[in-house]
Structure 1
Amino acid sequence: MLQENSFSTSALLDTAAADAACDTSRRHFINHAGRGLLAVGVAGALPLAAEAQAGKTAKTATPPPVTGPLDIKLPPLEAPTDPKGAGPLNPDAPERRVGYAVVGLGHLTLNEILPAFGQCKHAKVVALVSGDADKMAKVAHQYGIKPSGCYSYQTYDQLKDNPEVEVIYIVLPNSMHHEFTLRGAKAGKHILCEKPMANSVQECEEMIAACKKAGKHLMVAYRIQYEPLNRQAQKAVRARTYGQTKLIQMVNCQNQAHDQQWRHKKALAGGGALPDIGLYCLNTTRYLLGEEPIEVSAQLYSTPGDARFKEVEENVTFTLRFPSGVLAQCTTGYGSFNSKAYTVHAETGSIKMDPAFPYHGLHLEYVHAPNGKQLKETPNDPMKNQFALEMDHLAECVRQNRPPYTPGEEGLQDQRIMEAIYQSARESKPVKLAAAPRLDAFRGPLPTEEEA
């Protein structure tokens, strides 16, 4: 019995050792297979794992030289009937991307623009400009920007000596766009300027002239015109998918913080809700239709006693009349709950975007009634970063030497119309506007599908 027990114990120990070895080998296989999958796929992983189990040292394969495009294609994971997921980003190699200097390190830059470079294919951030040296040092460390790529507003002009910087992205209070565009053009750099382009028609015209004199592109950051769902909506409007457009409703409202931010100072902002968020209503309407308004009428109102609106307006409503007969009713405000949406009312259906203007989470819906039964269709959202799209677009324009889709002339036209809106509100009567010679009169060539 003792021998039998000894035999059983020995067998159990041997079995346990075998199981442990098997388990170790299994983990070894999985680890090696995982690494192999990343490099060479399943077929390459199995020989590596087999060599490892046999106690051999796997040799590292030398990757072949890349001679053609860098694009990588993968087989689809979804059935043909399912929505398609995004494919590989396929960015350019770092040395081929267009270098950007970002001017201003406020909320928009830190929360949206700098993180968006991680999703860019053709653009990269190589320099920063700020009046806060301590903050800039931290941000430079976060994004791997060399100390030599950090500039103050006083040393901004020295960007001319930095060959890594090809584009300057101006993300400053509205009143500073004019000065920093002129100085950037003089430094020999292309300019991407946040909206609104400037605080007056004259400033816009001078910015355009300065960039033309320097032989550099000037683009206004109208991100909505590069966003995929809004591009789908535009195509449906232009194709008259639901017949002739009759009416458009646009709303962009938000409740501003009571902190006396620069947007509440007329000298810095140029105005209140209209040039900041009401501009989305104006520009998106023009973008969807391709037409230019020939008449505008408007009203302004600010809540008495609200310290935020001592210098700038709180609420604006304005109506745009277009040559085709379309009427667009636009509403914007700084003191009401967040609402950002639009509806295009056509003969046989509606195109609704709600929300329409945030940086993320847009939702497009088509409403129509084929065979007399109402249907709501929601297109798949590619969920691409709006800032990455616009920065990549200008990078491609720089590389290919072609005009951007939203050049300075597009920003100038919006400024003309906004000044007419203010005039209409002051005079309590409609204001006539000059007719445009053609559709998309102030835009450049369409972005490529690859840039959408």
Structure 2
Amino acid sequence: MLTGAAIPFMPSYLAAAEAENSKDGLSFSDDRILRVAIMGLGGYGTRVADAMQACKRAKLVGVISGTPAKIKNWQNKYGILEKNCYNYENFDQIKNNNDIDVVYITTPNALHHDETIRVAKAGKHVICEKPMALNAREGQEMVDACQAAGVKLLVGYRMHFEAKTLEVVRLRETGAFGKIMFFQGLCGFRIGDPNQWRLNKALAGGGSLMDIGIYALNGARYMVGEEPVWLTAQETKTDPQKFKEGVDETIQFQLGFPSGAVASCLSTYNMNNLDRFFLNGEKGFAELQPSTGYGPIEGRTHLGPLTQPHTTHQTKQMEEMAGIILDGHKPIIAVDGNEAIKDLKLIDAIYKACKTGQKIDV
């Protein structure tokens, strides 16, 4: 077996994997490394690629982009082979590429559905950024396509692997907070460039709820530990020029759970200083602030501060997803397509409630 010392040009993340496997008494093999192609080489795709350099079990090996200059830059930066580079017209050919195990889709929301189905038909696993789709119908079609192709569909729920978040969930499950009564999720920021795709309904499928509010919605579910049975929602729009028809600026929504717990959440593209989760029970509380940013997350409970160390979220996520895909690991909080459909059904209902003013049973 060749060692990292014997290969002076071995990338640091492969050398780390070599060392880790040797430590465990295992021989190094690419079969134990999740080989990833990233589709969509924008800001978030770059963040994932950079974070993966510290991974032991996930390796960036391919790219899919419609911009040749970006592909060339990524080849130079990450050492990606020419044969692992594709565009949006020919990426179905990954079916014949044994170097790639999974495609991580980081393109605009409206493209996720068709791209996921094409990747699944090419026989590759899919990691899709959230929201997984524009609505629950699309999401179900994606899940069905991946199931039919015999590939896994995972979603980029990075907070499901974050240490302080998981500690709050653990404390709740041990009964530390007693009966859960209330959750509050505040998620928002003042969005910049009015011409960006996030403010284009055709590409984004909505506005703040699809982009940032989904954190509060998803967080309400895993923090309370139940699925909501009813919801109400109200939309506020102060700038119809920037936030055109179908692109929500601010939405407040309320959820009710079977136990009687309630949640109050805010999603906005028009206010800063909003990144807070608060969970309240009969015996105690937990607060995360910031709660969903790239970190470090900060938190406390009635028992004291949360002190779990920070790890780059995308690094931790990709390590965990390697375990899910390669070893069949089951995460503490689900990150599969069926989990995403639960959020999409609620998003559909929130938009309906905003239009009708009605309380909706879900």
If the length of structure 2 is used for normalisation, what is the TM-score? 0.90
Shift of 1:174: 0.5
Q: What is the count of residue pairs matched by the alignment?
A: 344
Q: For the Cα contact (< 8 Å) 1:225–1:284, is it kept in 2?
A: no
Corresponding residue of 2:338: 409
Shift of 1:399: 1.8
C-alpha distance in 2 between matches for 1:432 and 1:343: 24
C-alpha distance in 2 between matches for 1:303 and 1:146: 49
2:317 matched to 1:382? no
C-alpha distance in 2 between matches for 1:209 and 1:220: 15
C-alpha distance in 1 between matches for 2:60 and 2:28: 14
Shift of 1:307: 2.0
Q: 1:207 aligns with which of 142, 149, 155?
A: 142
Shift of 1:310: 4.4
Q: 2:77 aligns with which of 129, 142, 148?
A: 142
2:76 matched to 1:133? no
Q: For the Cα contact (< 8 Å) 2:66–2:87, is it kept in 1?
A: yes
Shift of 1:403: 6.3
C-alpha distance in 2 between matches for 1:93 and 1:388: 20
Shift of 1:206: 0.7
C-alpha distance in 1 between matches for 2:49 and 2:242: 33
2:173 matched to 1:238? yes
C-alpha distance in 1 between matches for 2:357 and 2:20: 62
C-alpha distance in 2 between matches for 1:415 and 1:352: 26
Partner SS, residue 108 of structure 1: helix
Corresponding residue of 2:23: 71
Greater displacement, 234-243 / 314-323: 234-243
Q: 1:92 to 1:255 in 2, by over 3 A?
A: farther
1:231-270 pair list within 5 angstroms: 231-270=166-205
C-alpha distance in 1 between matches for 2:84 and 2:136: 33
Partner SS, residue 414 of structure 1: helix
Amino acid at match of 1:362: I
Greater displacement, 234-243 / 222-231: 234-243
Corresponding residue of 1:174: 109
Shift of 1:383: 1.0
Q: For the Cα contact (< 8 Å) 2:37–2:103, is it kept in 1?
A: yes
2:350 matched to 1:421? yes
Shift of 1:340: 0.6
Seq. identity, %: 33
C-alpha distance in 2 between matches for 1:227 and 1:288: 13
2:37 matched to 1:101? yes
**Residue by residue, what CA displacement relative to the aligned partner does 1:309-347 show, whole Å, maximum 9, x if unpaired?**
444010000000000111000001001114211111112
2:229 matched to 1:294? yes
Partner SS, residue 243 of structure 1: coil
1:37-436 pair list within 5 angstroms: 69-71=21-23, 96-110=32-46, 112-367=47-302, 377-401=304-328, 405-433=334-362
If the length of structure 1 is used for normalisation, what is the TM-score? 0.73
C-alpha distance in 2 between matches for 1:67 and 1:362: 30
Amino acid at match of 1:417: L
C-alpha distance in 2 between matches for 1:145 and 1:383: 29
Q: 1:290 to 1:91 in 2, by over 3 A?
A: farther
C-alpha distance in 2 between matches for 1:195 and 1:281: 13
Corresponding residue of 1:7: none
Partner SS, residue 246 of structure 1: strand
Partner SS, residue 291 of structure 2: coil
Partner SS, residue 275 of structure 2: strand
**Residue by residue, what CA displacement relative to the aligned partner does 1:85-135 show, whole Å, maximum 9, x if unpaired?**
xxxxx996656311001000111111x201111121211010000111011
C-alpha distance in 1 between matches for 2:31 and 2:95: 19
**Residue by residue, what CA displacement relative to the aligned partner does 1:144-198 show, whole Å, maximum 9, x if unpaired?**
1011111111111111111010011000100100001000000000000100010
Q: 1:309 to 1:401 in 2, by over 3 A?
A: same
Q: For the Cα contact (< 8 Å) 2:93–2:122, is it kept in 1?
A: yes
Gaps in structure 2 of 5+ consecutive residues: 6-17
C-alpha distance in 2 between matches for 1:159 and 1:257: 36
Q: For the Cα contact (< 8 Å) 1:191–1:218, is it kept in 2?
A: yes
Amino acid at match of 2:23: D
Shift of 1:423: 1.0
Corresponding residue of 1:75: none
Shift of 1:273: 0.6
C-alpha distance in 1 between matches for 2:20 and 2:300: 40
Q: For the Cα contact (< 8 Å) 1:266–1:311, is it kept in 2?
A: yes
Shift of 1:260: 1.2
Q: 1:96 to 1:400 in 2, by over 3 A?
A: closer
1:25-44 pair list within 5 angstroms: none
Partner SS, residue 335 of structure 1: coil
Q: RMSD in angstroms over aligned alpha carbons?
A: 2.2
